[in-house]
Amino acid sequence: MRLRSVGARLTFWYAGILCVTLLILGGIAYILLAYTLAHDMDAALDGVAKVSAEQTRAEGRAFFPRDVDELFRHYFGFSPLNPSLELFDTRGRPGSTRPGSPAARLPLSPKALHDALRGIPTYETIDGAGPYPFRVLTMPVIKDGRVTDLVRVGISLENVFQTRRRFLWILGAVLPFGLLLASVGGWVLARRALKPVATMTQAARRISGEHLAERVQETGAGDELDRLAQTLNDMFGRLDDFLRQTRQFSADAAHELQTPLTIIKGEIEVALRSPRSPQEYQEVLASSLEEIDRISSLVAGLLLLARADRGVLRLDLKPLALPELLEEVGAQMRLLAENHGVSLDYGIVEPAAIQGDREHFRRLLLNLIDNAIKYTPAGGRVTLSLRCDGEFAHLSVSDTGMGLTEDEQKQIFHRFYRAAEARSQSGGGAGLGLSIAQSIAAVHGGRIEVESAPGQGSTFTVSLPAECNPAITASS
């Protein structure tokens, strides 16, 4: 049987453990009771036998205390049923017997006789004197160093058996009752302890993709359940953020793809409305091609990000000498910088090499330098530098451009994010360049950081695990 509720399982275990505990304790109590009864009985037999033997010795004839019951009560606490008191001679032949002694019919055992003749008392449990066994003590009567007689005192074990049986009855009655009480108590406790879990389960069930803003109630007790509620709430918070970002991302991607498509459609529709000259058609086709280029670069960027996210971006890792790569990309971007009226210079460039994918890395640098040129007004300056501190190469692209507020700095690496000023400027990208650069840096084990102040320019620094002063000099 499988118990599906934790409460039921707890109750079951609780009751089970209690049952075993009660059985063990009951068993120990029963053994102690039996031992105590046997011990007290032997002590009483010893007391009565000693009095009888002493009196017999003193009187020189069989002496039976008149009130044996009283004597037993004195030694035993209560008087036994049918106590036996007999006298034997040294050959084991029965002599006098206290009237009504049930054990009198039973012969003296050879061991008791043998021991008594050597002055040793013998305790025995014997059957045959009634429905219950008898406990007997055979004690020698010693006069002038000689055994003259043997006194045998016995009592029926009926009382002892009944007491033990009564104890077992009580135990048998108390055990189920105790178990029932413990089970009910355990069930109530388990339900009370697990109530917050039930509440949490209901709340968690209510929280779906549409209602991720809801939260599980925290008790504030700081206990395990409260920590569980906090953990669940943190998880829902992260899921909520993730879902919001995903929805925003899909909306942004659709929007960015729709704009060039709308332009292409509009231009083609206008062109088709009336006959055009071949040159006009050519212009429409050239403009459409430009928009298609925008779409394919956007799709290529999205694909790269998706592959990087899934960890399946294919990398052709080779040793890359960074100064040479910086030189090459700088030379490529110089014309663009000049067209913008921005100077492109080099700062400190230290030798460093990384294991990297050349094409991806070129793309990263192009994105950063392109941004620096784009967001720096004419007359400004873009500086490329490279430092190596032993373990990491730090490649910086600094500009004296529009800069970014602290809030913008936190968001610029988000996909499709563009700062307000960049948005108002014509010729801006879709807002994927930095996300792509960050992903490329990440798959190379590095990261990009930004330092910026509005109106004063920005510095983007790519830090990567690198070898400083490498043996290689060429980046190809």
Residues that bind ligand ADP (CB under 6 A): 367, 371-372, 375, 399, 401-402, 404, 412, 417-419, 422, 428-435, 458
- CA contacts within 13 A on the Cβ side of 271: 18
Between 155 and 342, name the residue whose CB sits nearer to ligand ADP: 342
Q: How far is the CB of 347 from ligand ADP (least distance, A)?
A: 16
* Side-by-side strand order, sheet with 467-468: 317-321, 352-357, 467-468
Between 113 and 372, name the residue whose CB sits nearer to ligand ADP: 372
**At CA 334, angle to CA 410 and CA 342, rounded to 5?**
65
Q: How far is the CB of 302 from ligand ADP (least distance, A)?
A: 13
Reference 151, options 63, 276, 279; nearest CA is: 63
Q: How far is the CB of 381 from ligand ADP (least distance, A)?
A: 12
Q: How far is the CB of 427 from ligand ADP (least distance, A)?
A: 10
Between 371 and 463, name the residue whose CB sits nearer to ligand ADP: 371
Max alpha carbon distance in the chain (Å)?
A: 160
- 416 close to 422: Cβ distance less than 8 angstroms: no
Number of other residues whose CB lies within 10 A of the CB of residue 290? 12
Q: Strand, coil or helix: what is 439?
A: helix
Q: How far is the CB of 287 from ligand ADP (least distance, A)?
A: 21
- 405 close to 365: Cβ distance less than 8 angstroms: no
Between 302 and 404, name the residue whose CB sits nearer to ligand ADP: 404
Between 84 and 458, name the residue whose CB sits nearer to ligand ADP: 458
Task: Please spell the DSSP secondary structure of 40-74, one letter per residue.
Answer: HHHHHHHHHHHHHHHHHHHHTS----TTHHHHHHH
- 159 close to 76: Cβ distance less than 8 angstroms: no
Residue nearest to ligand ADP (CB): 429
Between 18 and 432, name the residue whose CB sits nearer to ligand ADP: 432
Q: How far is the CB of 469 from ligand ADP (least distance, A)?
A: 30
> How are beta strands 467-468 and 352-357 bridged, if at all?
antiparallel
Q: How far is the CB of 373 from ligand ADP (least distance, A)?
A: 8
User: What does residue 350 show for φ and ψ, rounded to 5 degrees?
Assistant: -100, 150
- 476 close to 322: Cβ distance less than 8 angstroms: no
Between 114 and 410, name the residue whose CB sits nearer to ligand ADP: 410
Between 328 and 421, name the residue whose CB sits nearer to ligand ADP: 421
SS (H, E, C) 17-46: HHHHHHHHHHHHHHHHHHHHHHHHHHHHHH
Q: How far is the CB of 412 from ligand ADP (least distance, A)?
A: 4
